[in-house]
A and B are shown apart, each in its own frame.
Chain A
């Protein structure tokens, strides 16, 4: 808490050394450079208006994000050996393949880097998603399980979890997730992850558990 007072008063008729002037000015410059705090700023010095005038938004939108084709496989229960009587062909993630790998862990949907200013970062992710429409718990004439599964979404910033959504069980829906966090200046990586529940012993390996598409990641950096 700096209170600075006259170190050297240069009055009329004085011989002035440059160092003397430096010292006289320096004691106050020192406060401005390193010691500004509530004592130096009068009450109401920063009002609503000054905040509004200097408020900035920086928006980055990453659209049309889709699950990579090489991670998606057909639901074999619909196409083989007998085509599904509803005639649907479902492509999506299966327990047997990467990156699901029996479920339970988070796989990356997208990862985007952006330069940011110190302030707040609002992260918004939405996509369409589908879980296969099995109405029974057991696959016909077998002990394999084919029940409806769920998906959970997570958002991370620089690898740190900042948001985890609830498990969603709708068969087909638009999934929307949003969070706002304080952010420092610099380039930060925002990644979106998904997770399906852990596979049980006798879960059917031919079942598509999840499919998602049409994702959009919106990053809004608010700063002064």
Chain B
């Protein structure tokens, strides 16, 4: 007697491209999200323009010179996220969105380098109240919100201060140009002897003693970072001489007048240092801090005994060592920056809490060991992970006790900093040549730092990567969606074309179709995934599809917008097409022919959305067997009320409960060795699992083909 048997797949797991693969997995899960509440895959994914009520998606129009792909995107949050600064680059312009203004944006910088299609995207790294912006070519900058853009680090040392020279006075009291100081002090006998408590005078009151002073200057910016010291000023040399005036004699002490340079943008103060009267160039002392960046002249009246602490030495602060910095990372209050293309194995770090001051010896050279160039940095736990092309190093310690670099692993590396990303509760995920890896744990408190491969059974996908374009790959993690998104170049294409998603709720993979025009990612404070479009279309007939500017991944049942608009509101595109392909299943009987009868799909009722089912057999995706179109309704009951349907007029509230459904679908494949099916549609599919009912009557697999 023929008996019915059943192969059950519940819950449905994510993609597995291995052969053979567990029946619970899928060959393809495209454009699905995962709902942890119902443990189901949901096809309710779409994207909408950031500006839904403007024709050009906000500022992305030709008049604004933003008619180009969005090259980078970052959401900078300040004041407990009360302020969100959405920064982006487009057509060589660095801008910030200002939706409340007429132009919807503000241009912060122009003539910036546009990345090549396979080039690394601009790096944004928050450091305190700043976001550090670097791309390896343009001058590194930092942004503080409200249009305040400053250079990162001190590009060069300050110009030399110049001291006005002074001639020696003659005995008759015909004093020098500095007599003005005498009048100012008004010492009574018209000879300034420097006994005023405030205006002391810098020279000696001993007759015939020659004094020599040399000055240096430094700049200070708003975060307290002090620039390198300038070179020495000219020497101020003066010989004490007794003068007589109005019948009084004395040796006047005089002041010096120093011409001081102004600092670069962002300078808020200047510090003046000088030698004592012996002119010893090895010892400079603090004279005064001038809390402005406007005055050009300083009058120095401090006696040697009133000088402050010794000046920092030349190693205390140096000109920014990495003009071509590609990426940065904040770790233990220090800003770590790479050495750029020309110095790719060097890692510099700033003084703690002073992101612009780089002491001379604050660097690591990783090029002494195998592993290639540095490609990314990521802070994790108690370490800074230094990703290289084929190695990962760790920086440990702190600025007080000193940092140290230790190797972690050799043989595995990353492509770019844009695909290195922290995931809460899991660790740091990154893309390598053969897959996605996860680093978790630590080296402190008895923990172990471990690395595991997240993308097991996805090797076939990673074999398709366009390796040379991988530096352009981008990633984002959304805690709201519990999804880690990668957007990758595959199949030899230079641009990003396919998305790969890791669902942290169930630890499974799915992918995105090629319909997503993603060039760069960002995540906002509400954990919405934002992306910059990889193209710009005019959006007029006959170019129906509108793609430009910044988009948001949301529950919108549309793939962006299209022509024609209704007033200023662009028309919504059709929803994304989802596609599910089950794993090939042999019912555990590879040696028998099976006769599958019915496919039962377990899901949640969604309404009248159409799901097209196609059956396949024997690993042949070429020939499909029509399975019919189905709705997410219960088969043997009256339809649940749905929105916008004449059968269910809205003169009464028709709230419904989502219900578990089993949809039975006849299978038309006849006998199979292996069976799979495909479900395709546009939205409205809430999929938990399935079962296949089949018969096996003992028909064996036929004899293999002989070669003789």
Residue positions of A touching B, CB distance < 8 A = 1-18, 21, 24, 38-43
Say yes or no: is B665 at the interface (Cβ < 8 Å to chain A): no
Residue pair A14, B607 in contact (C-beta under 8 Å): yes
Could you say which residues of chain A place their CB within 8 Å of the CB of B524? 3
Contact of B100 among A7, A12, A24, A39 (CB under 8 A): A39
Instruction: List 4 A-B pairs, minimum CB-CB distance, nearest first.
Output: A13-B608, A12-B644, A6-B556, A5-B554
Tell me the smallest distance from the CB of B570 to a CB of chain A, in Å.
15
Contact of A13 among B100, B609, B657 (CB under 8 A): B609
Near A by CB (< 8 A), chain B positions 539-588 give: 552, 554-558, 575
Residue positions of B touching A, CB distance < 8 A = 44, 46, 48, 50, 81-84, 99-102, 524-526, 528, 552, 554-558, 575, 605-609, 632, 640-645, 654-658, 683-684
Could you list 28 A-B pairs, sorted by A, with CB under 8 Å?
A1-B81, A1-B83, A3-B84, A3-B524, A5-B554, A6-B46, A6-B48, A6-B554, A6-B555, A7-B554, A8-B44, A9-B555, A11-B643, A13-B609, A13-B644, A13-B645, A13-B684, A14-B607, A14-B642, A14-B643, A16-B641, A16-B655, A17-B657, A17-B658, A18-B655, A21-B655, A38-B100, A41-B100
If over half of B's interface residues share one DSSP class (helix, strand or loop), that class is named, otherwise mixed; here it is loop
Residue pair B642, A16 in contact (C-beta under 8 Å): yes
Residue pair B658, A1 in contact (C-beta under 8 Å): no
Tell me the smallest distance from the CB of A10 to a CB of chain B, in Å.
6
Residue pair B82, A9 in contact (C-beta under 8 Å): no
Known: A6-B556, A39-B100. A13 touches B643 (CB 8 A): yes
Identity of the chain B residue whose Cβ is nearest the Cβ of A38 in the assembled complex: B100
Tell me the smallest distance from the CB of B576 to a CB of chain A, in Å.
12
Tell me the smallest distance from the CB of B52 to a CB of chain A, in Å.
8
How far, in angstroms, from A2 to B81 measured CA to CA in the complex?
A: 9
Could you say which residues of chain B place their CB within 8 Å of the CB of A3? 50, 84, 99, 524, 526, 528, 552
Residue pair B606, A15 in contact (C-beta under 8 Å): yes
Could you say which residues of chain B place their CB within 8 Å of the CB of A43? 100-102
Tell me the smallest distance from the CB of B341 to a CB of chain A, in Å.
36
Tell me the smallest distance from the CB of B234 to a CB of chain A, in Å.
53
Could you say which residues of chain B place their CB within 8 Å of the CB of A13? 607-609, 642-645, 684
Residue pair A9, B528 in contact (C-beta under 8 Å): no
Contact of B555 among A7, A18, A21 (CB under 8 A): A7
How far, in angstroms, from A4 to B526 measured CA to CA in the complex?
A: 8
Contact of B656 among A8, A15, A24 (CB under 8 A): A15
How far, in angstroms, from A13 to B528 measured CA to CA in the complex?
A: 27
Identity of the chain B residue whose Cβ is nearest the Cβ of A45 in the assembled complex: B100
Identity of the chain A residue whose Cβ is nearest the Cβ of B657 in the assembled complex: A17
Known: A1-B82, A1-B84, A3-B524. A15 touches B607 (CB 8 A): yes
Could you say which residues of chain B place their CB within 8 Å of the CB of A8? 44, 555
Identity of the chain A residue whose Cβ is nearest the Cβ of B644 in the assembled complex: A12
Most A Cβ at <10 Å: residue of B605, B606, B655, B683: B655
How far, in angstroms, from A11 to B658 measured CA to CA in the complex?
A: 15
Known: A3-B524, A9-B44, A42-B100. A15 touches B642 (CB 8 A): yes
Residue pair B683, A11 in contact (C-beta under 8 Å): yes
Could you say which residues of chain B place their CB within 8 Å of the CB of A2? 526
Could you say which residues of chain A place their CB within 8 Å of the CB of B684? 11, 13-14
How far, in angstroms, from A40 to B100 measured CA to CA in the complex?
A: 7
Known: A3-B528, A5-B528. A16 touches B643 (CB 8 A): yes
Could you say which residues of chain B place their CB within 8 Å of the CB of A39? 99-100
How far, in angstroms, from A17 to B44 measured CA to CA in the complex?
A: 15
Most B Cβ at <10 Å: residue of A3, A12, A40: A3
Identity of the chain B residue whose Cβ is nearest the Cβ of A5 in the assembled complex: B554
Known: A14-B684, A15-B606. A5 touches B552 (CB 8 A): yes
Tell me the smallest distance from the CB of B554 to a CB of chain A, in Å.
4
Known: A5-B554, A9-B556. A15 touches B641 (CB 8 A): yes
| Apart from A3-B524, A13-B642: 6 A-B pairs, beta carbons within 8 A | A3-B528, A5-B556, A6-B555, A9-B46, A17-B655, A17-B656
Residue pair B50, A15 in contact (C-beta under 8 Å): no
Could you say which residues of chain B place their CB within 8 Å of the CB of A42? 100
Could you say which residues of chain A place their CB within 8 Å of the CB of B558? 9
How far, in angstroms, from A71 to B153 measured CA to CA in the complex?
A: 72
Residue pair A14, B555 in contact (C-beta under 8 Å): no
How far, in angstroms, from A40 to B526 measured CA to CA in the complex?
A: 16
Identity of the chain B residue whose Cβ is nearest the Cβ of A11 in the assembled complex: B557
How far, in angstroms, from A2 to B86 measured CA to CA in the complex?
A: 12
Could you say which residues of chain A place their CB within 8 Å of the CB of B642? 12-16
How far, in angstroms, from A13 to B632 measured CA to CA in the complex?
A: 10
Identity of the chain B residue whose Cβ is nearest the Cβ of A13 in the assembled complex: B608
How far, in angstroms, from A4 to B557 measured CA to CA in the complex?
A: 16
Could you say which residues of chain A place their CB within 8 Å of the CB of B656? 15-17
How far, in angstroms, from A166 to B631 measured CA to CA in the complex?
A: 86
How far, in angstroms, from A16 to B82 measured CA to CA in the complex?
A: 34
Could you say which residues of chain B place their CB within 8 Å of the CB of A9? 44, 46, 554-558
How far, in angstroms, from A10 to B46 measured CA to CA in the complex?
A: 13
Contact of B609 among A4, A7, A14 (CB under 8 A): A14
Tell me the smallest distance from the CB of B567 to a CB of chain A, in Å.
16
How far, in angstroms, from A40 to B608 measured CA to CA in the complex?
A: 36
